[in-house]
């Protein structure tokens, strides 16, 4: 989603000091010894007074029944029998797991013991792990049962149970969960309950409004479909992005004010899960809780992915192979969080920004990367980066036998790929631009940076085209869509988008040709079928348009635009009563649709229902008081009334 620095310890040589200074040092040391003899003996370190607060805060969230920790640490007896182990794993900072270096990015929820806390744990274990007076014992922590955020507004569950095999390599599996919502909903929080947490290493949640994941699921014979990374090809480009990530011990997160995300009808959630065999078959059936709000989003974050997987080709035995990437910010942003990602031979992960004034601002530094403990890290406070800052990623890999996490013995060549024994090097950065339209500037320049690394890249050309089209640069967008099709000629999404761009630029015949090509590539592609039907209506080919529009409405009965187009085509072919029915439904689904009310007025007028027609036209004028077509239609209707 670098190399470390070397530190030396400077020691003054007393032989270089003058005798007078040396004498002062000796006297000071002697005085210190005298004071030490006069001090009372140190306080006894006990579980109840000293150790329990440390363990309850930092260890118990995972080490309790039902969580991922292999044993519980909620009582003195639990902790006492593992005192030596706790002292050992905390002194090495293996536990609690917090890979980022302190002071290299101010991260929220830092779970890192101080040197004094580690010393207390070691001393307690060394001195026999005494319990201490019961009166000093703090109450064990209490954790919410069930949903952390309370009962969800909607619970979405897998339709079938998946069984993780007893043996074999790690499993990367994707599960598609259709979300039964009508219209658009705004999600303020998502909570994942993955099932057996000992089996689930981590999970990402993707939002798929295209149906492409559902198709892949259908073509895979098992429950879900395989794959570590999932590419969702869509003809609707939305740059808004959120970290929807779960790992054992992580708390469910509510989005900041104004940053809810949209969930439309027909959308699927895709659980991209990393699963680990335990030695016996493990059934899992994850569920997702969704928490809604009526407040639409007013702030729109997006994700920037620094990476250069194309440069990953690590020879066997190579101890220090470095991959780097950078991106120059064209606008001011606030950085909200980061998600670093590498596999087993990753060793040192750095993310930072070089500011325009030459200073360096750290985002994250993990000196000892461990694939088992990857996570999303959010900042305690947003990190402001001014325009012109360069965000950088630097990842070093150790593919030698000295790397205890190397999955290959003896080491072998490692290249980029989608298996866990391949490698990746990503740093996802969630940024919040100051202005909503700045997202398109970011996306355009970010895709141009990708093309510098990967000339001819399909994803870069397709996303660049979408950003250019959003910025009103239709001709440039058409060029980029055609470049994307050179890399992937049968992409139905890009063929459909090219058709829409051609239609917007007035080339209706060319647009129809692209919509037809999209349907040849993917016959069930509803967006292309709907767009083809609408374009044929504009060409006056109403009879040919009708089957496409009927298919679109059957598949998406709550789509107001589809029903309006169908109603217009029915009206043009003389099927007026059917037209009125479709147009009424379109106006109900979208009361602010000018076209639905205008077309409904025309249909009612054709049936001689003058009063109802006038009401429909008047409603259209409330939406667009100066619309010339509506004004003319209402004028003609009123003139007819006077004549009669």
Average pLDDT value for residue range 13-34:
32
What's the CATH number where 584 sits?
A: 1.25.40.10
Tell me, what's the pLDDT at 643? 62
- 10 Å CB burial of residue 248 (0-12, 13-18, 19+) is middle
Assign 436 a pLDDT band (cuts: 50, 70, 90).
confident
**Residue 9 placed within a domain:** no
Q: Is the pLDDT of residue 12 over 50?
A: no
3-state SS, residue 169: coil
Look at residue 26 and tell me whether its pLDDT is greater than 50.
no
- Residues 586, 563 within the same domain: yes
Nearest to 120 by CA among 90, 81, 99: 90
Question: Sorting pLDDT into bands at 50, 70 and 90, what band is 16?
Answer: very low
What is the per-residue pLDDT for 442?
95
Q: Do the domain assignments include residue 328?
A: yes
Counting Cα atoms < 13 Å in the Cβ hemisphere of 309 gives 15
User: Phi first, then psi: what are they for 418, rounded to 5°?
Assistant: -100, 5
**3-state secondary structure (DSSP) of residue 567:** helix
- Residue 444 domain-assigned? yes
**Which residue, 269, 191, 251, is CA-closest to 67?**
251
Kindly state whether residues 226 and 346 are assigned to the same domain. Answer: no
Return the pLDDT at 104. 95
State whether 529 and 580 are in the same domain.
yes
State which of 293, 313, 341 marks the end of a domain. 293
Domain boundary residue, one of 84, 103, 136: 136
Taking only the tens place, the pLDDT of each residue in 213-226 is 888 888 888 899 98
pLDDT exceeds cutoff 70 at 83: yes
**H helical segments located in 74-161:** 76-80, 83-91, 115-126
Residue 627 lies in a domain: yes
Fill in the DSSP letter of residue 504: H
Is the backbone peptide bond immediately before 117 cis, with ω within 30 degrees of 0? no
pLDDT tens digit sequence for 607-629: 989 899 999 999 999 999 999 99
Q: Are residues 90 and 166 in the same domain?
A: no
Residue 565: phi and psi, rounded to 5, are -65, -40
Task: Compute and round to an integer the Cα radius of gyration of the chain.
Answer: 31
Give the pLDDT of residue 404.
Answer: 94
Q: Is the dihedral of CA 428, 432, 436, 437 positive or negative?
A: negative
Contact at 8 Å (CB) between 633 and 601?
yes
Say whether both 117 and 238 belong to one domain.
Answer: no
491 and 630 share one domain: yes
The mean pLDDT value for 390-400 works out to: 98
Cross-strand partners of 379: 107
pLDDT at 32: 37
Whether residues 568 and 633 fall in one domain: yes
pLDDT-derived band at 234, boundaries 50, 70, 90: low
Q: How confident is the model at residue 424 (pLDDT cuts 50, 70, 90)?
A: very high
Question: Is residue 538 domain-shared with residue 568, that is, in the same domain?
Answer: yes
The answer to whether residue 603 sits within a structural domain is yes
Q: For 525-574, write each residue's pLDDT tens digit.
A: 888 999 999 999 999 999 999 999 999 898 888 888 889 999 999 999 99
Residues 427 and 534 in one domain: no
The string of pLDDT tens digits covering residues 132-172 is: 999 988 998 888 778 888 999 999 999 899 999 999 888 88
pLDDT beyond 80 at 35 = no
Strand partners, 185: 263
Any idea what the CATH number is for the domain that residue 356 is in?
A: 2.60.120.230
Is 6 contained in some domain?
no
Return contacts of 530-537, CB within 8 angstroms, 24+ apart: 530/559, 530/561, 530/562, 530/565, 531/496, 531/499, 531/500, 531/503, 532/499, 533/565, 533/566, 533/569, 534/565, 535/499, 535/503, 535/508, 535/511, 536/512, 537/565, 537/568, 537/569, 537/572
- Domain span holding position 86: 47-136
Non-local CB neighbours of 49 within 8 Å, separated by 6+ positions: 132, 133, 136
Residue 557 belongs to a domain: yes
Choose one of 240, 265, 293: the last residue of a domain.
293
Q: In sequence order, which residues have a C-beta less than 8 Å from that of residue 498 and are 6 or more positions away?
A: 478, 481, 482, 485, 514
**What's the rounded Cα separation, in Å, for the pair 518 and 441?**
28
479: tokens are 């060029």
End-to-end CA distance of the chain: 71
Instruction: Say which range, 169-173, 249-253, 414-418, has the weakest mean pLDDT.
Output: 249-253
DSSP 166: S
Angle at 245 between CA 244 and CA 248, to 5 degrees: 150
Distance set, CA 198 to CA 94, 112, 282, 353, 524 (Å):
18, 23, 10, 37, 40
- Average the pLDDT over 474-483 and give the result: 97
User: Are 422 and 528 contained in the same domain?
Assistant: no
Here the tokens at position 567 are: 């109603």
Question: How many domains does the chain contain in total?
Answer: 4
For the chain, percent helix, then strand, then coil, each to nearest 5? 40, 20, 40
Check whether residue 415 and residue 313 sit in a common domain.
Answer: yes
Look at residue 28 in the predicted model and tell me its pLDDT: 31
Beta strands in 113-228 (DSSP E): 154-157, 162-164, 171-178, 185-193, 200-208, 225-226
Residue 27, in any domain of the structure: no
The span from the CA of 23 to the CA of 17, in Å, is 10
Q: How many CB atoms lie within 10 A of CB 566?
A: 31
Same domain, 283 and 308: no
């Amino acid at each position: 989603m670098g190399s470390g620095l070397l530190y030396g310890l400077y020691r003054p040589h007393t032989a270089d000091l003058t005798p007078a200074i040396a004498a002062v040092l000796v006297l000071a040391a002697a005085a210190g010894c005298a004071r030490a003899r006069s001090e009372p003996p140190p306080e006894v370190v006990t579980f109840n007074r000293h150790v329990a607060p440390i363990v309850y805060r930092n260890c118990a969230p995972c080490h309790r029944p039902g969580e991922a920790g292999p044993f519980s640490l909620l009582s003195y007896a639990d902790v006492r029998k593992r005192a030596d182990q706790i002292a050992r794993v905390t002194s090495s900072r293996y536990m609690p797991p917090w890979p980022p270096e302190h002071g290299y990015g101010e991260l929220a929820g830092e779970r890192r013991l101080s040197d004094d806390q580690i010393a207390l744990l070691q001393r307690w274990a060394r001195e026999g792990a005494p319990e201490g007076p019961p009166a000093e014992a703090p109450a064990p922590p209490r954790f919410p049962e069930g949903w952390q955020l309370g009962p969800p507004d909607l619970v979405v569950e897998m339709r079938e149970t998946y069984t993780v095999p007893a043996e074999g390599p790690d499993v990367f599996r994707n599960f598609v969960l259709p979300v039964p919502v009508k219209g658009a909903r705004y999600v303020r929080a998502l909570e994942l309950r993955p099932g057996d947490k000992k089996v689930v290493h981590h999970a990402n949640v993707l939002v798929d409004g295209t149906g492409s994941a559902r198709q892949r699921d259908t073509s895979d014979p098992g429950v879900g479909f395989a794959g570590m990374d999932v590419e969702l090809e869509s003809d609707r480009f939305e740059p808004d992005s959120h970290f929807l990530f779960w790992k054992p011990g992580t708390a469910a997160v509510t989005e900041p004010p104004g940053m809810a995300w949209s969930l439309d009808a027909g959308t699927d959630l895709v659980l991209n899960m990393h699963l680990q065999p335990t030695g016996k078959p493990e059934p899992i059936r994850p569920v997702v809780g969704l928490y809604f709000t009526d407040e639409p989003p007013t702030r729109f974050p997006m994700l920037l992915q620094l990476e250069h997987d194309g440069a990953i080709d690590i020879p066997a035995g190579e101890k220090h192979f470095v991959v780097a990437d950078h991106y120059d910010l064209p606008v001011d942003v606030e950085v909200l969080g980061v998600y670093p990602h590498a596999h087993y031979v990753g060793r040192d992960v750095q993310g930072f920004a070089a500011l325009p004034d030459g200073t360096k601002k750290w985002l994250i530094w993990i000196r000892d990367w461990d694939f088992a403990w990857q996570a999303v890290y959010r900042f305690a406070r947003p990190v402001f980066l001014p325009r012109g800052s360069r965000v950088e990623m630097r990842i070093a890999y150790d593919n030698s036998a000295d790397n205890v996490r190397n999955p290959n013995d003896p080491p072998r060549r490692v290249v980029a790929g989608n298996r866990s024994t391949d490698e990746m090097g990503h740093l996802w950065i969630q940024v919040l631009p100051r202005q909503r339209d700045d997202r398109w500037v970011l996306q355009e320049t970010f895709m141009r940076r990708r093309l510098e690394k990967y000339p001819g890249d399909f994803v870069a050309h397709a996303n660049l085209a979408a950003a250019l089209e959003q910025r009103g640069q239709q001709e440039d967008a058409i060029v980029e869509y055609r470049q994307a099709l050179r890399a992937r000629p049968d992409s139905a999404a890009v063929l459909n988008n090219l058709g829409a761009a051609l239609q917007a630029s007035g080339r209706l015949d060319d647009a129809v040709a692209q919509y037809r090509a999209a349907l040849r590539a993917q016959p069930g592609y509803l967006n292309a079928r709907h767009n083809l039907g609408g374009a044929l209506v504009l060409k006056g080919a109403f009879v040919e348009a009708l089957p496409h529009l009927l298919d679109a409405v059957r598949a998406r009965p709550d789509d107001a635009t589809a029903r309006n187009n169908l109603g217009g085509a029915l009206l043009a072919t003389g099927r007026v009563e059917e037209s009125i029915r479709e147009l009424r439904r379109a106006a109900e689904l979208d009361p602010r649709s000018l076209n639905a009310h205008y077309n409904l007025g025309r249909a009612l007028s054709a049936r001689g229902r003058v009063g109802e027609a006038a009401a429909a036209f008047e409603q259209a004028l409330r939406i667009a008081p100066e619309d010339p077509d509506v004004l003319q239609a209402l004028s003609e209707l009123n003139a007819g009334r006077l004549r009669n």
